[in-house]
Homo-oligomer: A and B are copies of this chain.
């Protein structure tokens, strides 16, 4: 697994367990065979393609979805379900290998997945969150899911967050999970999540598939508010390839089993909870960036001194999305002109003659541009810094209070290779 730097935050402790870290949640995953393997070698091992998260109690729940006009059928069904229950959920069912998108029978199949789950777990179909990821425009075979359901439910018994995290992977090279422990009203609370990458990632209002569970008691309304706010400064500041998926969804469920006083309004408790959500989502964002398709390096771009946060965000995302800069990072070439070029075409209001740029690693930042013009720097030091696998770009655009961070990755031969023959 690629190493990732987890940043420390006072009062929050990183723990194991992913979506099972919070009390009341179990998870599991199995290989259902949703896509026929290329050859029928009976000894072949298969990665999981069907996952489930179950809560012991009915949870408060919230979600955000892709803004793509083409929406996967599971998105439509999950929206309907959460509306029907007024923001309550008991379980998540999710498959990889097929997005169930652009199919005439898509909604029917997504509903069938909810029914199968409800029957197996003894809840209502409307209490199920359903999600799919994989190839667009191929009919989803429902038989493998039906057949795998007993084994999937059995897999919940060992509460295996790793099996579930594997089941949502597509071109990911490692499963992505983070969990934290924090305290509210003297009670230990837990919040953890899992996410899948790693291509078609350029979120708007949500990204990719992402499931977060907590035992911290929070109303559905405040869950939605926190999720909508945090997604703006985490996933929505991530771009792997500029392509916004049809199946993006982030779902957040609270079992309330930490037994803190339920958070129903803004205030100190809400802020503590929201910070936990930020820590988990920010770290998952960094993992998604680091594991971008074909990526060898994480790029973190911070913009400060803008007139407001939105301006800073537009500039940071412009840099993260530049194919030319991404290719230069792959080549470990301190070609800062491409950073300035991307800053220059960002649709934002700032003075280009005030722009300073530094580039490097967490060990050494090197100033390459001051007031919009190049400054002398040691190419040797820059090459050394760029040989690291987490690359930082710091940009200052003036004296304003606005700042933002965006995350991306380098553009490599392997991105092209992976996407030249994804369907085969």
User: Which residues of A are at the interface with B, using a C-beta cutoff of 8 A?
Assistant: 67-71, 99, 101-104, 135-138, 199-200, 202, 204, 241-246, 321-324, 327-328, 330-331, 333, 335-338, 340-346, 350, 352, 369, 372-374, 411-413, 415-424
Contacts and interface: CB of A to CB of B under 8 A. Distances in A.
Number of copies: 2
The winner among A200, A327, A417 for most chain B CB atoms within 10 A is A327
B340 A137 contact: yes
Contacts of A333: 420-424
A416 B411 contact: yes
Given A344-B70, A352-B69, A419 B323 contact: yes
Given A323-B419, A341-B200, A419-B327, A369 B137 contact: yes
The winner among A99, A243, A415, A416 for most chain B CB atoms within 10 A is A416
Nearest to A370: B104
A312 to B, nearest CB: 15
Contact of A419 (B202, B328, B346): B328
A341 B420 CA distance: 16
The winner among A202, A373, A419 for most chain B CB atoms within 10 A is A419
B420 A200 contact: no
Contacts of A241: 323-324
B327 A415 contact: yes
A333 B103 CA distance: 19
Nearest to A346: B69
A337 B413 contact: no
B374 A102 contact: yes
Nearest to A419: B327
A70 to B, nearest CB: 3
B70 A372 contact: yes
Contact of A69 (B70, B336, B345): B345
Contacts of A101: 337
Given A331-B419, A335-B423, A369-B102, A344 B138 contact: no
Nearest to A241: B323
A254 to B, nearest CB: 31
